[in-house]
Amino acid sequence: MKKRKTWYWIIGLSLVTLLVCGGFVAVGLWVANKFGGGQMGLAFGEGIAIIRVEGVIVPGEAPPPSPFGGGVTGTAFSQTIIEHLKNANDDEDVKAIILYVDSPGGSVFASDEIYLKIKEIDKPIIAAMGSLAASGGYYVSAPTDEIWAGPSTLTCSIGVISQFINVEEFAEEYGVTAITIKSGKFKDTGNPFRNFTEEDRELWQIIIDEIYADFVNIVAEGRGMTEKEVREIADGRICSGRQAQEMGLVDKLGYLPDVIKRAAELGGIELEENEEPRIIEYSHQAGFADVLGAALYRPSPIEELRQILHFDAGSPLMYLYTGL
């Protein structure tokens, strides 16, 4: 009995120590985040803001980073990107903005949120495409003042897609029955336990065509093209940065250092020979409770699987390149 009590004490003290250490780390991160201004780097003066759209575009706000590493990766949260765009637009030191896009696209809703915020920016803003800026990645690039891509960047993929999983035969084989009670024949459209009917397809095709027309109009407006010209190349095809430039979808070929130099020029930042402009990046603002929660939170295997399969994109309507 005495030995068991000793083990209880050891376990209890270990848990308390872990919580105290986690609390100190969380406090340190919160203080740095709160009073550090949310900017990376210690330089002052005029500079270029880099706003990153990296990973699948989804609605919402990024969770605070865990002090133990890990967390959500490969995801571009629309509200966080919008917050960073607002910070850059309001920051008097920021003379130009670079939207760095390395994304296969994602949620139609989230992509449109970012697009609308970019339209409000009253400073020079350039899209710099990374290895992949397709579908929704191109959608958020379209309203910028200039689009730069690498020669081998994968981009374009202008179009809309919806995918529905059907497990009807699988369920029948394993004796799984789904009972559905609905108010109308279309109420369970997309139900994985029944096949898509032709009426279902017609219903969704109308929606897809409507959203596709919006995408075409946004590209036409951003690139100074006619709707007909855009539709001729907006068939969902993926293309290289070089091909996109030939089609009028990209302005110039180059990499991030080239874009930084161009942004400084557009922003009127005077530099000495071989001098680099100040780079400003914004971090996610998190409260103490958020950071402490992140330190203790671990996602379930199901949540991790949903993230891997992009099931958290917010809606079946996607501006998404699915060839990955």
Domain range summary for the chain, segments of one domain joined by +: 46-159+236-284+300-320, 162-235
Q: What is the pLDDT at residue 172?
A: 79
Selecting among 119, 182, 185, 187, the annotated active-site residue is 187
Burial class (CB in 10 A: 0-12, 13-18, 19+), 292: buried
What is the rounded CA–CA span in Å between residue 84 and residue 73? 18
**HSE-up of 29 (CA within 13 Å, CB side)?**
25
pLDDT at 9: 55
Give catalytic status of residue 135 as yes or no: yes
Q: What class has domain 46-159+236-284+300-320?
A: alpha beta
Residues of the chain scoring pLDDT < 50: 24-42, 68-70, 288, 290, 294, 302, 305-306, 308-314
Q: Which of 103, 111, 135, 141 is catalytic?
A: 135
Q: Quick check: 196 and 166 in contact, CB under 8 A?
A: yes
Query: Residues 230, 235, 241, 245: what is their CA dihedral angle, to the nearest 10 degrees?
Result: -20
State the angle between helix axes of 108-120 and 78-90 in degrees (0 to 180), rounded to the nearest 10.
0
Supply φ then ψ for residue 77, to 5 degrees.
-85, 125
Active site annotation includes 283: no
Helix/strand/coil for 280 = strand
Do residues 90 and 123 lie in contact, with contact meaning Cβ atoms separated by under 8 Å? no
Inter-CA distances, 241 with 51, 198, 236, 250, Å: 20, 38, 15, 7
pLDDT for residue 32: 42
Can you tell me the distance from the alpha carbon of 4 to that of 272, in angstroms, rounded to the nearest whole number? 71
Angle at which helices 198-223 and 108-120 cross, to 10°:
20
Provide the pLDDT for residue 188: 87
Long-range contacts, 192-201 (Cβ 8 Å, 24+): 192/164, 192/165, 192/166, 192/167, 192/168, 193/167, 193/168, 194/166, 194/168, 195/166, 195/168, 196/164, 196/166
Report pTM. Answer: 0.79
Nearest one of 163, 155, 313 to 234, comparing CA atoms: 155
Other beta carbons less than 10 A from residue 14's beta carbon: 10
Using alpha carbons, select from 96, 92, 87 the residue that is nearest to residue 37: 87
Tell me the per-residue pLDDT of 115-141, one tens digit each, with 9 for 90 and over. Answer: 999 999 999 999 999 999 999 999 999
Beta strands in the chain (DSSP E): 47-54, 56-58, 75-77, 94-103, 105-107, 125-134, 146-149, 154-156, 238-240, 252-253, 278-280, 318-320
**Helix, strand and coil percent figures for the chain, each rounded to 5:** 40, 20, 40
293 exposure class (CB count in 10 Å sphere: 0-12, 13-18, 19+): middle
pLDDT at 163: 86
Q: What are phi and psi of 126, to 5 degrees?
A: -120, 140
Secondary structure of residue 190 in the 3-state scheme: coil
Instruction: List the alpha helices (DSSP H) in 36-141.
Output: 78-90, 108-120, 136-139
